[in-house]
Structure 1
Amino acid sequence: MRENRYFSHTYEESRAGFREKLGEVRKYWPDAGLETYHIGSREDDNTTDIIAADALEESKDLIIITTGEHGVEGFAGSAFLQLFIEEYLPRINHKTTGIRLVHAVNPWGMRNFRRVTESNIDLNRNYIEDWGEFTGSVEQKYTREKELFVPAEPLENIKSCKEELHARLNEAFSTEELAEFKDTPSGQHEYKTGVFYGGKDWDEPARELKTRYFNWVRDYDHPMHLDIHSGGGPKDELTIIFNEADRRSEARLQEDLSYSNVMKSSTEDIYGDSNLYLQKALQEEFPDKKTMVCLFEFGTIGESVDDLIFCTRTMINENGLYFQGARKEEVREEVNRDFARLFNPSKEEWRKQVINKGREGLEAVLRSENIRI
C-alpha cells in the first residue's frame, strides 16, 4: 500500500530518511540546514535532528513540527514529517514562512521502542516551570494502587497476568479514571521505576529542546507549533488538542478549524505538560506575537471499558518488562506486540488513516492560521 512508504521499521531507518529530505527542502529554501545534537553519550548515537529554514524575505510565519516526544510515537511523527515535506512545502509562501522540523525529541525512546526516556521519564510531564519550588506530586489514583504501577518481580505466565491485572484495574478504577490513564494521565514525580514518572528535574531531551525553542520564534510574528503523538483519542481518528493557554473556547476552536475532532484540554490537575509550558512561556516572553500550539493525536484503541483497561494494562506490563524482565521469551514478545499495537500499529488501515487524517488536520490548522496552501 502506498501509505506504507511513509513509515519506517527502526529509528535508524527513520532518521536516515529524514536527513535525506534536506535536499528536497533546499529546493524552496536554498540555505536550509540540518542541526543534529546527541542525547546521552555520543557513542550511543541517539540524536535529535532538526531541519531549519528561515523565510527568504520577511519573517512572518514560523511552522514548528515536533515528533517523538514519546519515543515510540515517533514513527507516526516521522511519517507526518515526510507528508508535510512532500505535499505542503511546495504550497506555502517561502518568502514569509520559516520551518523547524524536529525528528525524535526523545531518540533513545524511539530507538528502543519505549515511550519514555532512558531515565524512565515521560517528557510530557517533565516541563515544570520552577523545579526549585516544585515539591513533587503523586496523583491519588496512582497512590492508592501503587503496587500495580511500580514493578516488583519478573512477568510470569502472560495469560494469567493479563487476566489478573484486568480484574484488578476494573475493580480499582472507574471508567472515567481509566479514560484519563489512556488519554491524559496525571503523572507522578516520586517513583522512578513507576509508570507515568515525570522526573525530579529537567530531563536532557526537554532541556535541549526548550533551549532552542525560544531562539527559533524570536524573529517571527506568528509561530505555530504542531506536536505529533499517537495512542490517545478515538480509534482511527485524529484529534487536534489545544491547551488552556489558548484563549479561544473549544466551540470557537472547532469553528475556526472547521474540523470535527477539536478539543481543548484541561490540565489543572496535571503537572509538566510540555505544550502548555511552551505556549505560556511564549506568551509571557513575547506578548505581541500571535502564538498557536496544538497536539495531533492519532488514535489506536477503542473507547470501551475493555479497551481502556488494555491501554493501562499494556503500559504497566511494558514498564514491568523493562525493569524486571520476563521468565519466558514468549511473554516478552506478547508484551511488546501489545505495546506496538497501542502506539505504533503495523496495520495498513491505521497507517492509511494517519496519512489521510494528517492531511485533513494539516489543512484545517494551516487554513485557520491563514497560511496559504
Structure 2
Amino acid sequence: MFTRKKSLLFLILSGVLAMIATVLFFTNHPAEEGEVDAAVQPYYLNSYEDSRAAFRSLAMHWKSEGAVVESFRVPSAVDDDLTIDTLYIPPKGRPEKLVIIASGTHGIEAFTGSAVQRYFLERILPDLDRTNLGVLAVHAVNPYGFRYERRVSEHNVDLNRNWDVEPSLFQATNEGYEIVNEMLNPKGKVDLGSMDNRFFAVRSIMQIVQHGMPALRQAILQGQYAHPQGLYFGGRTFEPQKALLEPLFKKTAASYSHVLLIDLHTGFGERGRLHLFPNAIRDPAVRARLEAVFAGYQIDYGDTEDFYTTTGDFSEYMGKLLDDKIYLPMVFEYGTMDSQTTSGSIRSLHNMIVENQGFWHGYESDDDEAEAKRRFREHYNPTSHIWRTKVIHDSDALLRRSIANFLSLKD
C-alpha cells in the first residue's frame, strides 16, 4: 500500500509540475527596464570579421608603447582564415602583476566578449596604474564558433571541456550523462512544432522530479567524452588551441609573480547580471585572494547544489600550467536567460539541443531553421540595448575596482 500511495503521489506531483513548466516555457518575459547608453552600442559588432578587424586596429595603437601583436591561425578543413589574435602590453616598470583577459572560448559568446575586451583596452586600461601591470588580451579563442555562430569548435568540441596538461582528461567518464543522452541528442530533422519540442518542458520536469535538479545539472554540464555529436563533448584529443596558445601563456607569464585570468562568457545565470564563477576553488588561500580582489561582489564557487563543476575547464588548466605563480581565475558570466530558474534552465537547454540537432540532422523547413538560429543567437548574443548597456557599465565598474585591488595584493 505504501508503494502504491508513493507512486500515485509521484504521478500527481509530476503532472502539476509539468503543467507549470509548460506554461512558463511558452510565457513571454516582461519587457526589460533600464537605461540605454548609445555610446557603448558601437562596441557590439555583427560578425567575427568586423570584431577581429576592430581588435587588430585597436591593438596596433598600443604598439607605440612596446606592445606585441600576434595572430595564430587555427587549422581548419572548411575555412583557412580562422585566427586567434593576441595583444600583450608590457608594464612601464618591473613586471609583477599580469592580467589575462580572454574572449570566445565558446565561439558565439565572443560577440559580447570582444566588445568588453575592446572597451577595456580603449576606455579602462589607459586609466590604470601600469607601472607593474602587464596585460595579455586573447581575442576569439574559438574563431570557428565565433564566425559560424556556434558554441563549439569545428569538431563539435566544447573548448571549456577540452583543456588540461595531461591527456588523461579524455578518459574521464560521466555516467550521469547516459541517463539524459537520448533527450539531449535527438535524431532526425528539427521540427519545432513536433510533440517532442512542444512538450519539452514536460519531459524535462519529469526528469527533474525523478533525478533531482542538482544531479541532472551536473550530469548535463560536467562534460562528456563518449558522444562526438553530443552536447558538451570534450573531444578525444586536445584541440589546436592548446598547442598554439600554451607557449604564449608560459612565455608571457614567466616574469610575473601574480596572474589574474578573466575569461568572458555569456548565457548562464540571471539575465543582465554579471556573475563571478571561479569553478569550485577549495584552496583557502586562493579564496582569500579572490575575496580581496573582488571585494563587494558575490563569488559563486560552484560548491553548492545550485551550481556545477566541469572537466577540462580552461581556467583550471591555466592554474596547472602556471603552478609556480600566485594564480587567480575568474569567469565573468553575463546572464541572458534566467537559467538560475527551472523555466529558464529548460529554455536554455532546449535552445542548445535544437541548435545541435539542426547542425547534424538539418531542419524540416526554412522557418524552423531561421527560428532555431534566432533563439540561439539571442541566447548568447542578446540584441537588447538595455542588456548591452548593463554589460558594459557593470564590466567597467568591476574591472576598474578588481584590477586596482589586484595591484594592491601583497602576497
Aligned to 1:121: 157
- In structure 2, the residue corresponding to 1:44 is in which secondary structure? coil
Residue number in structure 2 paired with 1:99: 135
**1:106-163 Cα distance to aligned partner (Å, 9 max, x none):** 00000000000001011111123422475231341x2112112224211124464432
**Distance apart, 1:218 and its partner CA:** 0.5
- The residue number in structure 2 matching 1:73 is 109
Q: Structure 1 residues 292 and 364 mapped into 2: Cα distance closer, same or farther (>3 Å)?
A: same
* Counterpart amino acid of residue 225 in structure 1: L
- Quick check: 2:272–2:335 contact (8 Å CA) kept in 1? yes
Shift of 1:276: 1.2
Classify 1:180/1:16 alpha carbon distance in 2 versus 1 (closer, same or farther; 3 Å): same
Task: Give the 3 Å change call, closer, same or farther, for CA 3–148 of structure 1 in structure 2.
Answer: same
2:326 corresponds to 1:290: yes
Q: Is the 8 A contact 1:245 1:280 kept in 2?
A: no
Look at both structures and tell me which one has the larger radius of gyration over its CA atoms: 2
* Inter-partner Cα distance in structure 1 for 2:193 and 2:408: 50
Structure 1 residue corresponding to 2:94, chosen from 49, 58, 63: 58
Q: How many residues align?
A: 363
* Structure 1, gaps ≥5 residues long: none
Residues 47 and 249 (structure 1), Cα distance of their counterparts in 2 relative to 1, 3 Å cut: closer
- The alpha carbon displacement at 1:251 in A equals 7.8
Question: Do residues 321 (structure 1) and 358 (structure 2) align?
Answer: yes
Task: Give the whole-Å Cα distance in 1 for the aligned partners of 2:80 and 2:408.
Answer: 39
Q: Which deviates the most, 93-102 or 331-340?
A: 93-102
Q: Establish whether residue 147 from structure 1 lines up as the match of residue 177 from structure 2.
A: no
Alpha-carbon distance between aligned partners in 2 of 1:220 and 1:261, rounded to the nearest angstrom:
27
Report 1:210-221 matches (<5 A). 210-221=246-257
Residue deviations 1:159-210 (CA, integer Å, cap 9, x gap): 64432322211211333356558xx811110000000101111111233222
* 1:62 and 1:220 in contact (8 A); partners too: yes
Structure 1 pair 249/139, CA: closer, same or farther in 2 (3 Å)?
farther
Match in the other structure for 1:280: 320
Q: What is the aligned partner in structure 2 of residue 44 from structure 1? A: 80
Is the counterpart of residue 89 in structure 1 residue 125 in structure 2? yes
Gaps of 5+ in 2: 1-37
Q: C-alpha distance in 1, partners of 2:51/2:218?
A: 31
Q: 1:130 to 1:22 in 2, by over 3 A?
A: closer
Identity %: 28
Which of the numbers 197, 200, 207 marks the counterpart of 1:162? Answer: 197
Q: Which amino acid aligns with 1:10?
A: S
Residue 69 (structure 2) aligns with:
34
1:4-47 per-residue CA deviation (whole Å, 9 max, x = no partner) reads 111010000100010110233235x2x21310011124952010
Q: Assess, with a 3 A threshold, how the Cα gap between structure 1 residues 356 and 246 changes in structure 2: closer, same or farther.
A: farther
In structure 1, distance between residues paired with 2:405 and 2:270: 23
Are the aligned partners of 2:76 and 2:154 in contact in 1 as well (CA < 8 Å)? Answer: no
Query: What's 1:353 paired with?
Result: 390
Question: d(CA) in 2 for partners of 1:350 and 1:19?
Answer: 26
Aligned-partner residue type, residue 214 of structure 2: E
1:175 partner amino acid: M
TM-score scaled by length of structure 2: 0.82
Q: Alpha-carbon deviation of 1:332?
A: 0.7
Correspondence list, 1:152-191, <5 A: 152-158=187-193, 160-173=195-208, 174-177=212-215, 180=218, 185-191=221-227
User: Contact 2:302/2:308 (CA < 8 Å) preserved in 1?
Assistant: no
Structure 1 residue ranges (4+ consecutive) displaced by more than 6 angstroms after TM superposition: none
SS for the counterpart of 2:221 is coil
For residue 252 of structure 1, report the CA deviation from its aligned partner: 7.2
Q: For 2:67 and 2:327, locate their aligned partners in 1 and report how far apart those are by CA, in whole Å.
A: 23
TM-score, normalised to structure 1, is 0.90
CA separation of 1:353 and 1:7: change in aligned 2, threshold 3 A = same
| Cα offset, 1:87, TM superposition | 1.7
Q: Classify 1:128/1:151 alpha carbon distance in 2 versus 1 (closer, same or farther; 3 Å).
A: farther
> How far has the Cα of 1:334 moved from its partner?
1.0
Report the Cα distance in structure 1 between the residues aligned to 2:178 and 2:364, rounded to whole angstroms: 28
Q: CA deviation at 1:304?
A: 2.7
Alignment of 1:166-315 (within 5 A): 166-173=201-208, 174-177=212-215, 180=218, 185-243=221-279, 244=281, 247-248=284-285, 253-254=290-291, 256-266=293-303, 270-283=310-323, 286=324, 289-302=325-338, 303-315=340-352
Instruction: Name the SS of the counterpart of 2:343 in structure 1.
Output: helix
Q: Within 1, Cα distance between the matches of 2:133 and 2:60? A: 18
CA distance in 2, matches of 1:157, 1:264: 36
